[in-house]
Structure 1
Amino acid sequence: MSEQNWLNELRVSYEVSGITEDQLLPTPMQQFQTWLADAVSAELPEPNAMVIATVDSTGAPSTRTVLCKLVDERGFVFFTNTNSNKAKQLAANPQLAATFLWLKLHRQVHVVGAVEEVSRAEADEYFATRARSSQIGAWASEQSRPLTSRDELVTAVAQYEAKFAEQDVIPTPPFWGGYLIRPKYVEFWQGQRSRLHDRFRYELSDPGFYGRSVLNRADAWQISRLAP
């Protein structure tokens, strides 16, 4: 096998059952919850991981993997440093695409929507559930800022460990919060034999529904099968 074409020899046969229209649940959030439960049952590593894409002020795209920490009738929620590059890009252009990839199940879910910050109360509630070491890390890391060495980060962690040593409760950093993705459409992809994959898209049936609490209303969504 030559160095030029060895990637061409990588092949995976999708020997799994497909999905049909009558198997789909009425709303994308219901369907997502079902697929997420399947991913958890399959013991996939970090099944709530999603790759999110944003763009900067010049239109250049960026992607990174984050963990989805809440899925409810509003959409999908993740948390991060609000001084990070992704947060700055979302402040300038609050649109986002996200993909959940579950390779073992030959499935992926693609989400497109607008983003808004969650309330401080909601961010505080989640921050309180984090491990103490993760809370310290959130304070210590000036996310996306260049470091002279790892020692600089280790030193910052030690400083905040000392600062909060006498406190049972570590407060949420003012530069840390959550973001809600309100989906405009959600696509479900199931790998199939001969690359004749199943793709179904849930799209809001009326643009006026967007941003309202209608994600769990079946009549708010139009379902279409897409060519693979």
Structure 2
Amino acid sequence: MRFNLIPVTRNCRVLLDCRMSSLKDIRVPYDYDGNSTLNDTNFRSLNPFELFKQWMEEAVKEPNIKQPNKMVVATCDQNGRPSSRYVLLKEYDTEGYVFYSCLNSKKSNEIKANPFVALNLYWEFFHRQVRIEGKASEVTRDQTNEYFISRPKGSQISAAISPQSDPIPDRKFLEDAYSKLESEYENKDALPLPDDWSGFKVVPDYFEFWAGNTDRLHDRYVFDKRLSADAFDEKTMTKNSDGWIVYRIAP
């Protein structure tokens, strides 16, 4: 039995075979010619926030990318044990990257215990990835409320009734709580902001921009603000006008 041809990128198709003996046999060539933003001549003068903005805007405009703001948030607990999950990036500017969550969730509790987090966005169509590391802190209640009331009413209800990350008996538990709150606010346009719901802004001190390239000779460009003076190498690194140490790393 064979699957049909599935488009993976604009210029590439992969034939998936049920008789495939191992995942190691899967090969996807990175042949999209659209990564000219980065090169050895210009990357040292770039601002990472502006470069991220350009890549995000290109991803938003590309119809083959259905959810360009999907990103992985990785956190660690007090024992150094990591966990990760997908969330949606909802706001960004030259200060940081914002996502929202229940304050009692696993990720929120881990951020409270250890505010250093890692973000990862990958746009397969362009063979581009951005890794961001930094420190997270809560945004203001006004900012949270402004975003909360912009959500569809059903999403507001779900956020209000969900004891996120807690064990629950069954789906009926959620459905009953949803129906009850839906009836309570039937004649209102929006719900009040739940006390246990907020946003986090990640302020970066490290970026890596990755662009897939032919034969796995990928391009990786780093913008770093935590590098010690002793680790600075004049042969491979420079400091740009925004104070970032910029350098290329091997794939």
Taking structure 1 as the reference length, the TM-score comes to 0.90
Query: What's the secondary structure of 1:21's corresponding residue?
Result: coil
Structure 2 counterparts to residues 206-217 of structure 1, below 5 A: none
Match of 1:70 among 88, 91, 113: 91
Query: What's the secondary structure of 1:220's corresponding residue?
Result: coil
Q: 1:201 touches 1:224 (CA, 8 Å); kept in 2?
A: yes
1:42: Cα distance to partner?
Answer: 1.7
Structure 1 segments (4+ residues) deviating >4 Å = 1-5
Distance of 2:149 and 2:59 partners within structure 1:
26
Structure 2 counterparts to residues 194-213 of structure 1, below 5 A: 194-204=215-225
Distance of 2:51 and 2:178 partners within structure 1:
41
Distance of 2:40 and 2:161 partners within structure 1:
49
Q: Which has the larger radius of gyration?
A: 2
Q: Does 1:54 align with 2:75?
A: yes
* Change beyond 3 A, Cα 1:70–1:2: closer
Structure 2 counterparts to residues 50-199 of structure 1, below 5 A: 50-199=71-220
Taking structure 2 as the reference length, the TM-score comes to 0.82
Structure number with higher helix proportion: 1
Q: 2:119 touches 2:133 (CA, 8 Å); kept in 1?
A: yes
- Partner of residue 39, structure 1: 59
Identity in percent: 37
One-letter code of the match for 1:57?
Q
Q: Which has the higher contact order (CA 8 A, sep 6+)?
A: 1
Distance of 1:222 and 1:10 partners within structure 2:
37
Distance of 1:149 and 1:194 partners within structure 2:
48
- Partner of residue 219, structure 1: 242
Distance of 1:11 and 1:135 partners within structure 2:
42
- Partner of residue 21, structure 1: 40
Q: 1:206 touches 1:220 (CA, 8 Å); kept in 2?
A: no
- Partner of residue 23, structure 2: 7
Query: What's the secondary structure of 2:223's corresponding residue?
Result: strand
Q: What do residues 135-194 of structure 1 show as CA deviations (whole Å, max 9, x unaligned)?
A: 011111110111211111000101111222233331110000000000011100000011
* Change beyond 3 A, Cα 1:106–1:164: same
Distance of 1:23 and 1:30 partners within structure 2:
13
Q: What do residues 14-37 of structure 1 show as CA deviations (whole Å, max 9, x unaligned)?
A: 113343034446211100010111
Distance of 1:91 and 1:85 partners within structure 2:
10
Query: What's the secondary structure of 2:59's corresponding residue?
Result: helix
1:119: Cα distance to partner?
Answer: 0.5
One-letter code of the match for 1:145?
D
Distance of 2:177 and 2:114 partners within structure 1:
32
